[in-house]
Chains A and B, each alone.
Chain A
Amino acid sequence: MTTITQDNKTPFSSKFLQFYKDRTLLAILLSLFAVMFVYGIFFTDNYLTITNFKAIIRDAALYGIMAIGLTFVTLSGNFFLLSLKETASICGVTFAMGMATGFGSPDLVGNFLVSLLAALSVGVLSGVIQGYFVGMGGNPIVVTLGGAGILYGIGAWWSDNLVINFKRPHDAEWLGTGSFLGLPSITLAFILIAIAAELVLRHTNFGRKVYLVGANKAAGRATGHENFSMAIIVFTICSVCCAFVAVAFVAQMDSAQSNYFSAEFGSSGDMTILVIATVMVGGNSIMGGYGSTLRTSLGAIFIAMVDNMMVLQGFNSGPRIVGVGLMIVFSIIVFGLFAKGSRAQE
């Protein structure tokens, strides 16, 4: 029927918000950084020490790398990979098995390269399979929750739920506890991965497709960018990131157990929640199509700072997890307000 279209002038306020959305969100995040920092200097003992800052970045690096992987999934409109810690768990077990037993062949015991490749392959495999089902039209939440159960179960079954130890000295020490140029190697890896991810998103066809498919799946299909291959690739990227973090973590602990990433990991307990929080606090859109890995990286450092502060103030893990939860809620509200102002309605 009749539609009356008028060449409406865009309201000034929405133009204003459109222009400043990016900068304002970043500014909010940065000023929060500053507030935290000043507060830390004056009210927290042992805050302004190099050791403490290394600890912050080191913490941020572990879940930051996983969060960068997850950012690809979220940006492409496939919500989340909920089997983050389970993927890490099975990859960690695989790596430790390789280091400790050489997968049954005595020649391979302690062979870093073989163990690493085995762990990464497990990551690729689980990512491809979960991505396949999501690409076929499965709901990502359901598919990856199912995947979580299966992956964790296989890891626990394989390792009999035991701690797999391998003694120092071993070939993976450089990754677990070593450092280059005064930075822990995992921190260095985080920085390199963050830069690479940002370049991929900004300057490759693949990166552009991530945004386009995330912004509108139907239009993506119509312009020749199917979510099928996209889902497989982004879930694989995310799973490989999980595998890499698992390897680094296991190398640091000289041991692995299937529940390391639920109980022992970091200070806030559950790894999956922490990683999802990182992506959200960075201000990436849950619906996809808007955000960046730079935001995620900043989110990771921010969460690590808050967490570190709470540790130094003497809070134990309960209140710290509440803190992470509050940060998610806060970031979603702020992001929601800005998204409302800038996106054209309809």
Chain B
Amino acid sequence: MASDPVLKITNVSRTFGAIQALKEANFEINEGEIMGLVGENGAGKSTLVKIISGFDPGFKGSYQLNGKEVKFDTPSKAEESGIAIAQQELSLIPNMSVAENIFLTGAKVKKFATLNTLSKMARPYLDEVGLTDIDPSTRINLLSVGEQHLVEVARLISREAKILILDEPTAALGELESRRILEMVQRLAKNGKSIIYVSHRLDEIFKITKRITILRDGVSQGVQETKDIDVNKLVEIMLGRELANMFPSRADHISLESKIEVKDLWPDGVLEPVSFSAYQGEILGLSGQLGSGAGEVLASIAGALKSRSGSLTLNGETFLPKSPSQAIKKKIAYCSSDRKKDGLFLGRPIFENLTSPALDTISKFGFNFGSTEDSYAKNLAQEFLIDVKRVYDESGLLSGGNQQKVALGKWLSIKPDVLLVNEPTRGVDVGAKSEIYQRMRELAARGITIIFASTDIQEITYLPDRVITFYRGMMIDEHRLEQIKTPVILKEITDPFNETNL
């Protein structure tokens, strides 16, 4: 390296209980450099980022800043040393002005300051991040999400941050907004700030970074010069060559008997009406990043999200469900991505959760005297590998993996024809993950059509029989069986139109 790195981390490891989140991570960044940080979910990116920004002092290894060994107990200590992080979830106060948000902590501000003074003080920082046309007295909630991200960064700069960590700044943004963020990043780097850019969007990584640090399974895979590497090589390093055998083998062929036909479905978050069909007994994966529209399509098939137009054809009937209860009557089950929000009744016992969609079928004339329900729930529990003895416990007491099994397993109670799953394994440990995959495959073999949406690239590559890719609200392409290849899919969900010109 030409100059000494401003921040250097060597041989850092971090364990949480039995789980080793980081094994052997090295990281460094020079002044005025944009360093990309990539890795799949669970590779240890966020753990590393937390260590750098002082949120997580419990690591082992060496952490050097400007050549001196440092240890930050709290994020504010790290901030004093010039390290600041802009997290995915913004920490702005929506109904206060831009200027007030920038000087929220009150550092550098006189005891009595009018909005006017604050606005004048905020101006240079806003200019620096490219918000030249924004009045600092505007309320935050009148800005777009992208502009809010820029304000967040302006706030960090106002505290004289030298090293900025941007954690997925464009995950929830559209094309134009993302471009503003990228411009800002490049401008800041030119002004001598060091920027750690964490992103799943490989096109962005290639556009703006000089070097890339790749993490896999908690181990850093060496630093790559961006100009010496291409997308395929990067993905190969990210995933490693060995493929986990947690996925059941796929079906050997796809039945061509169409089970459900989706025609011109057009929910919010999708740019143009979407049509596709799913076959009897297959697992169909909808692949796309956050904001790609894949999840929205699923939700609107289930009636959980309104669609502007379109219809479904299932078992010879054509209809469009307006609510989940209509979809349930047609034997369409939908397991949402957020089980705590609308997947589980956390305060109620597990057996009530398991039978909740099927109350009408297990009761006689609206009466329900326990024994039928009991055996029904226990059968379901057994089938989904939930401890039968625990069915009377509150479901909120279960671990994430078991909760997900309950959230998914309850839908078997309606004997669905079509099972829609959004993010089947979000926040689920590895063991439960493979159990869930196994179950999904068995259900498909029984003739249930399963459609799932996922942002997890491994899951999308190895679980489904067919994959449809989505990018920013558009349907891109379809792949079958052995044509499902990670690099191709990654390309299609991050950069289908060759915007990186690689």
Q: Does A223 lie at the interface of the complex (its beta carbon under 8 Å from any beta carbon of B)?
A: yes
Q: Point out the residue from A3, A6, A343 that lies within 8 Å of B426, measured CB to CB.
A: A3
Q: List, in ascending order, chain B residues with CB within 8 A of A8's CB.
A: 399
Q: List, in ascending order, chain A residues with CB within 8 A of B167's CB.
A: 1
Q: List, in ascending order, chain B residues with CB within 8 A of A226's CB.
A: 323, 325
A204–B410 alpha-carbon span in the complex (Å): 19
Q: List, in ascending order, chain B residues with CB within 8 A of A209's CB.
A: 359
Q: Does A111 lie at the interface of the complex (its beta carbon under 8 Å from any beta carbon of B)?
A: no
Contact status A1-B88, CB under 8 Å: yes
Contact status B399-A204, CB under 8 Å: no
A205–B366 alpha-carbon span in the complex (Å): 5
Q: List, in ascending order, chain A residues with CB within 8 A of B396's CB.
A: 343-344
A215–B347 alpha-carbon span in the complex (Å): 6
Q: Does A206 lie at the interface of the complex (its beta carbon under 8 Å from any beta carbon of B)?
A: yes
Interface size band for B: 35 or more
A-B contact pairs, 8 of them (CB 8 A): A5-B399, A203-B369, A215-B346, A216-B346, A219-B356, A221-B325, A222-B324, A290-B347
Contact status A223-B410, CB under 8 Å: yes
| Most chain B CB atoms below 10 A, which of A18, A203, A222 | A222
A344–B348 alpha-carbon span in the complex (Å): 11
Contact status B304-A222, CB under 8 Å: yes
Contact status B168-A221, CB under 8 Å: no
A290–B345 alpha-carbon span in the complex (Å): 11
Q: List, in ascending order, chain A residues with CB within 8 A of B18's CB.
A: 6
Contact with B along A222-234 (1 / 0, CB 8 A): 1111100000000
Contact status A211-B352, CB under 8 Å: yes
A6–B17 alpha-carbon span in the complex (Å): 8
Contact status B344-A219, CB under 8 Å: yes
A-B contact count (CB 8 A): 129
Contact status B357-A224, CB under 8 Å: yes
Contact status A224-B328, CB under 8 Å: yes
Contact status B397-A344, CB under 8 Å: yes
Q: List, in ascending order, chain A residues with CB within 8 A of B345's CB.
A: 212, 215-216, 219-220, 289
Q: List, in ascending order, chain A residues with CB within 8 A of B343's CB.
A: 219, 222
Interface size band for A: 35 or more
Binding site for A on B (CB under 8 A): 16-19, 21, 41-47, 88, 167-168, 304, 323-325, 328-329, 334, 336, 340-348, 352, 356-357, 359-360, 363, 366-370, 393-394, 396-402, 410, 426-429, 431
Q: How far is the CB of B5 from chain A (nearest CB, A)?
A: 25
Contact status B399-A6, CB under 8 Å: yes
Q: Does A14 lie at the interface of the complex (its beta carbon under 8 Å from any beta carbon of B)?
A: yes
Q: List, in ascending order, chain B residues with CB within 8 A of A290's CB.
A: 347
A205–B358 alpha-carbon span in the complex (Å): 10
Instruction: Given A203-B369, A223-B357, A223-B410, check contact A10 B397 (CB 8 Å).
Output: yes
Q: How far is the CB of A125 from chain B (nearest CB, A)?
A: 24
Q: List, in ascending order, chain A residues with CB within 8 A of B46's CB.
A: 1-2
Q: Chain B residue with minimal CB distance to A221?
A: B324
Contact with B along A128-164 (1 / 0, CB 8 A): 0000000000000000000000000000000000000
Contact status A223-B356, CB under 8 Å: yes
Q: List, in ascending order, chain A residues with CB within 8 A of B17's CB.
A: 6
Q: Does A218 lie at the interface of the complex (its beta carbon under 8 Å from any beta carbon of B)?
A: yes
A221–B342 alpha-carbon span in the complex (Å): 8
Q: Chain B residue with minimal CB distance to A288?
A: B347
A211–B427 alpha-carbon span in the complex (Å): 27
Q: Chain B residue with minimal CB distance to A344?
A: B396
Contact status A205-B359, CB under 8 Å: yes
Q: List, in ascending order, chain A residues with CB within 8 A of B368's CB.
A: 203-205, 208
Q: Point out the residue from B88, B356, B399 that lies within 8 Å of A212, measured CB to CB.
A: B356
Q: Does A4 lie at the interface of the complex (its beta carbon under 8 Å from any beta carbon of B)?
A: yes
Contact status B325-A216, CB under 8 Å: no
Q: Does A107 lie at the interface of the complex (its beta carbon under 8 Å from any beta carbon of B)?
A: no
Q: Point out the residue from B352, B356, B367, B426 that lies within 8 Å of A203, measured CB to CB.
A: B367
Besides A2-B46, A7-B431, A224-B328, 15 new A-B residue pairs in contact (Cβ under 8 A), listed by A number: A2-B41, A2-B47, A5-B428, A6-B399, A203-B367, A205-B360, A208-B356, A209-B359, A212-B348, A216-B347, A218-B342, A222-B343, A223-B328, A223-B357, A342-B394
Q: Chain B residue with minimal CB distance to A6?
A: B17
Q: List, in ascending order, chain B residues with CB within 8 A of A221's CB.
A: 304, 323-325, 342
Q: Chain A residue with minimal CB distance to B340?
A: A346
A275–B278 alpha-carbon span in the complex (Å): 55
Q: How far is the CB of A264 from chain B (nearest CB, A)?
A: 40
Q: List, in ascending order, chain A residues with CB within 8 A of B431's CB.
A: 7
A4–B19 alpha-carbon span in the complex (Å): 8
A74–B359 alpha-carbon span in the complex (Å): 22
Q: Point out the residue from B19, B41, B340, B400 that lies within 8 Å of A1, measured CB to CB.
A: B41
A209–B355 alpha-carbon span in the complex (Å): 11
Q: How far is the CB of A115 from chain B (nearest CB, A)?
A: 31
Q: List, in ascending order, chain A residues with CB within 8 A of B329's CB.
A: 224
A36–B399 alpha-carbon span in the complex (Å): 44
